[in-house]
Structure 1
Amino acid sequence: MAGSTINQDSNRYKRRRNKKRKMARRLFFMVFILIIAGTIGYFAGEKAVFASIKKAVVLEVGEAPVELGLFDKSGKGSFLTDTSSIDMNTPGEYSISIKKYFYTVPSRLIVKDTIAPQGKPVEVTLWKGERVEATALVAEVTDKTEVSISYKEEPDFTRVGNQETVIVLKDAGNNITELVSNINVLDDKVAPVIYGVKDIITAYAGDTISYRTDVTVKDNSNKEIELKIDSSSVDSTVPGNYTVVYSAEDGAGNKTTKKATVKIMERKVTEDEVYALADSVLEKIIDDSMSKEQKARAIYSWIERNIGYVGKPTSFDWLKAAYDGFTKKKADCYIYYSVSRALLTRAGIENLEVVREDGGHYWNLAKTDDGWYHFDTTPRAGGGEFCLLTDGQLKSYSDKHKNSHLFDADNYPRTP
């Protein structure tokens, strides 16, 4: 009995185990079938979604906006690409991404330019030798893109009479329109006329001469004609009579010339003119409370800052030299001496002219409250300051710089 009971329990255990195994196998096969079915469904859905989106959409330039319905008739998708950033006025091809359900579908937008530009021909009349660009022979040009305008063949602008010319309009899509226009070339045998040239132009030596003042050119073509002026023979710094030549030439080669005499006169500068210029400087740099030494140093500093050196010889008229220094702000040593002379004199400081023994350099002696001192405002390549120096200080510099200030001391008052 005991053995029979054990066998019965063993059989029940086996049946339960087998039953669990069968249930596990059924569950595995059900899950496997569901996965296979889901995968097939996903790919079937993807294929259907991809098939519902156009692979490419073609639009003409200028068409806007880019609508979803052009790509997906169902309208259930949405653009992932920012289509507002696409330049619809420029031909090209653009990648487009569309989201539909949980699928991302690629597509393309192709912007084409298939429409040729339009325009109206314009007839142009011009004088022989004149030239016009092709743009002058066409009007009312229209197109969605930028249009280039050119001649198919360059016209002969020297051939008198009517001639047909072909104007080529080409847009960004390489669409071409050809227009036939007319150019009427007139013979021109009339030279330009120059008005306003004076027989004699007068100026003082050193002045700037305005040759173009009141001079104009007229031509029968009503085109602007260049006025050429040859003043190469005029030396405005040297008194005398010179010739200036005016000329003008039109597109047909007709040329006119006129001559004028340029009379350069020596400027006669008055003492009043020079002192007026000196006073205008002094009122800004000195006052009555200053000593003569302080005034002299202020004058030296102003000249150093405001007048530049130029090694061009000048006339030895101290008034004219001072005038040139004040007005042109350029000086050689004689002009520096002359400007210093004017300023020192008007500041109430007695001064004398000092000349180097070889006559190659000029400077001043200035008398302050305690005596005479050398006052040389001309800048030197060797450097140094020459404001109120004694004889000994000046000689020391001169000995070291090739006798730069060698002078006959017996002809001048001695410094302290």
Structure 2
Amino acid sequence: MDRDVRRKRHKSKYKRKRTSRLFTIGAVAIFLACAGVGAYFYHDYSHRVYSTCVVELGGDVKATDFLRDASKKAVFTPDTVITTEYAGTYKVGVVSEPFTYECNLEVDDTIAPELTVKDLTRTKEEIPGAKDFVEEVSDASGDVTVYFQTALSFDNYGKIPVEIVAEDGSGNKTVKNATLNLVEEYDIIPPVIEGQLDKIVYVGQSASFKSGVVVTDNVDSDIQVQVDSSHVDLNTPGEYTVIYTAEDSMGNMDLAEGKITVIEQLYTEDQVYALADEILADIIKPDMSDYDKAHAIYVWIQGNIGYSESTDRDDWLKGAYDGLTNRHGDCYNYFAVGKALLTRAGIKNEDIEIIPTATRHHFWSVIDCGEGWRHFDCTPRHDKSFKGFYITDEDLMAYSNEHYRSHNYDREKYTYFN
């Protein structure tokens, strides 16, 4: 009896040990399987997505930006809120079937603000702050602080250099230079627009409206003239009005009108310059200075162009062509021939004319051979003592005053000698 009991107890104990052993083996197997699967998925995770995606402040970001395989599709999890308006690091959920990943979105701000500044004129009673110099400032963050780079000293009147700094919340900075003109009292005198406001342009060609136009002011030295040419049609012959405006740093403004005459082109520059080049080939030598070239041109015109009356004075190319082919003409032809030859010889030259009267008009050139402007007038005069080559303005004005104001030009229009 006791032996049977002991045998049963032994069998029961053996079964329990066997069951425990099997359970332990099964648990270990399950653990190893789970660990293997986990290791597999962990390994696969790092090859499927980027753990962190970096984007510039205000930039766009898509769920697919986190995938290493660009051909895969992805969306953000419903609870993911995407914003790139503020710098920082944000947790995002990315779903790319059949997996869901937790990644980081890093929003960086590395771009400095855009800043445009202006110069100011003020008295000591109205010292400006840094923001007063700002015309426009912008940044993706919308948070910009504007301040002076260094403290300003207002002890002396005059122009004071100023450095304006625009800094965003991430420390990105833009520095621009401006000028504070510190005055004892405000300037109320407007600038003055003068020079060659009237111009002749050929149909279909561009017009340099600002050429020869000068702005002067009692305080400011660098005022840009603005041109309203909206009513000018360069493709249709006719006379058109342009409006010139200039404004100084105190807001004083001047306005002037100019006349743009658009004419048909009867002769091309190529035609005129071909005739000029033939003449220059005979009279210009390689070792000549600009002065010598200009003198050779003056001598040739005086010796080869005869004087005759003409009324056609609107088209310098026609005037030059007629003068070079017919070998005669009035002062406009002399001027136009000189302009063609001087230009092709590489000598800087500009046009000039007297203030016209009911009975008199006259045209000539000014040239610069490296010593400043000089007058260049090839037209022969009854006074044989007159020599129109390389004359200073002082000498020509003295001659003009003694000869019925023969060269009385508008100094506000032609500012070469002002």
- TM normalised by structure 2 equals 0.35
Larger gyration radius, structure 1 or structure 2: 1
